[in-house]
Amino acid sequence: MTAFKSACQQTLKATVVLCCSGFVFAVAAADESVATGNKAQQLYTSQPDVTPELGKRGTYAVGVSTIQATNPQQLSAKDYQSLEDRTLTLEVWYPAVTKKSDVQATYENVTRTHKTFLLQGNSVRDAKINQEHTYPLVVLSHGYTGYRTIMFYLGEHLASHGYVVVGIDHTDSTTGDVDFENAPFAGFPSTLINRARDQQFVLDYFTSAESDLAKAVDSDNASVIGYSMGGFGAVNTVGGCYKFNQQSLQAFGFPEPAAKALVPVFNSCNAGRDKVDSRWKAMVAYAPWGQAQNLHQSDAIQVPSLYVTGDHDDISGYEQGVKKLFEQSGAKDSFMLVYENARHNIATHPAPQIAYAADADLGHYYEPTWSSETLNRINQHMTLAFLDCYVKEQTSSCEYLPKRESAVQTKQANGTLSDPWPGFANRWGVGMKFLRK
């Protein structure tokens, strides 16, 4: 396997960078002291008048806890033959019981070049779970590379509206695990094998765990949200199949004999199960990777699905990537939100200040046309509408899913504008399309 590892690291440089790095451009160096001090950075401002209706915080206080969970005897990505325990770090947001004196949580992580930053959250660390109800489970899955809190804004938001949300640190695939400067693709083979299986494991874990937190989870009504490689896994988890062949594996750096032998290993369906788990009630895929390389067979998917994409996505692709995946899906309740003039970075929290010091770091977050904060607020609104509609089966929430394709309001004969999309402020929603199958 030594020869395989060497070949992977050399050959993957020319190929995998297209699917996982994010675009990069020149920027001026920033003052690193802003992000490396003890004070957590606040990424968000107060925008009540223009925030979409369902993008506003819910009625539940939010708690957050970090836990370790081990999936025993999983296929090793070192040799694809042996088995080893696979431990995941999970960030769990949930409806909680809090006091005014409680201190809000912070989230510490590192950029791709391993610069540390600290972000201010809007939840309370290890608060008591609100046990008045059980709450549908949402699995939140980052891209390559990423971390469990890269969409913390969405985790906190959904929890405030009555969900338990579990962000995964996908082992081998995080910014902390990967030396992005010297061996940026070392974790990619593990990502291909484990992403969907990790998502399924989290559902199984919270179904069987005995903690107070797990007991508050309604695991019979679960959904998965994946960004980029997280979306690559989510499509498989809810009923899709991978379509690797020897040539595609060789293109990813596998030597010919290994590529030939590993095709059946990589070509799993339903997160490695014989059939899709019926507890999955919905999927949201942000910029899912893989269909530009024809790696998905999605016609068997029946789970209601929301795809979110930029029409200039240069990582996952638009016409031959996400849009093709949406069109080929078998789910009759299938939708796609398109951000016009957006690229790939449509789901992450805004860039921490320290990220402005390096191209590789800023390229993980930055969108040249859109404000990341605006994207986040729209994501909150649309994701909540979709999950409330198909997971909680709230008919009124389905009405927030636009029936008019363009968000642009047009001037009527009497001089007034047509109505905005449901839940959007007048004259505020532009630059978006919403497609239905």
Residue with tokens 């994701």, as numbered in its chain? 383
Distance CA 21, CA 185 (A): 10
pLDDT score of 35 more than 90: no
pLDDT band at 21 (very low <50, low <70, confident <90, very high): very low
* pLDDT confidence of residue 72: 97
3-state SS, one letter per residue, for 49-64: CCCCHHHCCCCCEEEE
More confident residue, 353 or 36: 353
Q: What does the pLDDT average to over 47-71?
A: 96
pLDDT band at 14 (very low <50, low <70, confident <90, very high): very low
pLDDT in tens, 73-120: 999 988 888 999 999 999 999 999 999 999 999 999 999 999 999 999
pLDDT score of 25 more than 70: no
pLDDT score of 29 more than 90: no
Instruction: Identify whether the C-beta of residue 364 lies closer than 8 Å to the C-beta of residue 358.
Output: no
Query: What is the average pLDDT score of the chain?
Result: 91
More confident residue, 48 or 301: 301
Cis ω before 145 (30° cut-off from 0): yes
Task: Say whether 280 sits in a helix, a strand or coil.
Answer: strand
* pLDDT confidence of residue 254: 87
pLDDT score of 18 more than 60: no
Question: Lowest-confidence range among 31-40, 79-88, 122-131, 148-157?
Answer: 31-40
* pLDDT confidence of residue 433: 98
Q: What share of the chain is helix, strand, coil (3-state, %, to 5)?
A: 30, 25, 45
pLDDT band at 253 (very low <50, low <70, confident <90, very high): confident
DSSP state letters, 68-118? EEEEEEEEPTTTSSSEEEEEEEEEEEEEEE--TTPPEEEEEEE-TT--EEE
pLDDT score of 11 more than 70: no
pLDDT score of 307 more than 60: yes
Q: Locate all alpha helices (DSSP H) within 209-278, ordered by sequence.
A: 212-215, 229-237, 246-251, 256-266
pTM of the full predicted structure?
A: 0.91
pLDDT band at 2 (very low <50, low <70, confident <90, very high): very low
pLDDT in tens, 148-193: 999 999 999 999 999 999 999 999 999 999 998 999 989 999 999 9
* pLDDT confidence of residue 17: 35
Instruction: Identify whether the C-beta of residue 312 lies closer than 8 Å to the C-beta of residue 318.
Output: yes
pLDDT score of 7 more than 90: no
pLDDT score of 56 more than 90: yes
CATH architecture type of domain 2-394: 3-Layer(aba) Sandwich (3.40)
pLDDT score of 9 more than 70: no
Residues in the chain: 437
Residue with tokens 């050399």, as numbered in its chain? 10
